[in-house]
Amino acid sequence: MILSVVGVMSLATANVYAQEPEAAATEEVVAAEEEVATEEAAPAIDEETEVAGVPFHQAIKQKFIEGGVFWMTPVLLCLIIGLAVAIERILYLSFSKINTKKFIAEFEAALNEGGIEAAKELARNTKGPVASIYYQGALRYNEGLDVVEKAVASYGSVQNGLMESGLSWISLFIALSPSLGFMGTVVGMIEAFDQIQAAGEVSATLVAGGIKVALLTTLAGLIAAVILQLFYNYILNKIDSSVVELEDSSITLVDILTAYSKK
């Protein structure tokens, strides 16, 4: 029995050691086949990437040409001019922005220490619509507080108009860009139907060119309008905040001059 058990264990051990090299050999063969397959597939993938991987600006240029220069150029001009006006407005509003609370404190201190002339000098040498309104109010202080209030209200409207200058052009280009795109769409569809009429049959390849022009011009007009609309709303938001600040500062100016007149 002992010899039988030893013999069975020996045979089992021999079978295990025999299967391990066989399994190892099988794994090596599978690994080698996978490596060869990967090496063969890699050039194909690289080649596919090189063919499909067109740079973004090249793709935009290609679509611009395919959409038709005659219709795409006006849309592009609307976008460029609209962006130029929007950037000019943003720079104007940003550069005219000052620390209002600090300026009001300095104006009040100059008024109490050096009188109305010192306050006017400070407002004259400070940029921004708030400082301009303070200068106009101090300039008419000797005419009475009623005149000061009217001057501040009138000049506030002037400053509001200066901040909104150019916005009508941006809104024009927002409306004009998709209109030009839709016009190109109509022209492209007319060309497609003319080709169908001339050929006497409906074919996808026959009308593909006209439909492509129609779709690309519409897409270009909508993209230009969306971009300009974002800038337009951003500028309106900055103007609204400036107007609120302007009105609050005007009330403070009247209060400061009223308190000064009582001294």
pLDDT of residue 97: 86
Q: How far apart are CA 159 and CA 163, in angstroms?
A: 6
Q: What are the residues whose beta carbons fall under 8 Å from the beta carbon of 192, sequence distance 6 or more? A: 207, 209, 210, 211, 214
pLDDT of residue 60: 67
DSSP 141: G
CA distances for 103 relative to 37, 98, 182, angstroms: 74, 8, 51
pLDDT of residue 227: 94
Q: For residue range 101-151, what is the model confidence (pLDDT) as tens digits? A: 999 999 989 988 888 889 889 998 888 889 999 998 888 888 888 888 888
Dig out the tokens for 150 from the structure. Answer: 């009217």
Q: Is the pLDDT of residue 51 over 50?
A: no
Of these ranges, 5-14, 69-78, 188-197, the one predicted with the greatest mean pLDDT is: 69-78
Judge whether 171 and 150 are in contact, CB under 8 Å.
no
For the chain, give the percent of residues with pLDDT over 90.
20
Greatest pairwise CA separation for the chain in angstroms: 131
Is the whole model's pTM more than 0.85, yes or no? no
Q: Is the pLDDT of residue 82 over 90?
A: yes
How many CB atoms within 10 Å of residue 194?
12
- Is the sign of the CA dihedral 225, 228, 233, 239 positive or negative? negative
- Is the sign of the CA dihedral 21, 27, 29, 32 positive or negative? negative
Q: Is the pLDDT of residue 6 over 50?
A: no
Judge whether 210 and 189 are in contact, CB under 8 Å.
yes
Q: Which residue has the tokens 């100059």?
A: 110
Q: Is the pLDDT of residue 100 over 80?
A: yes
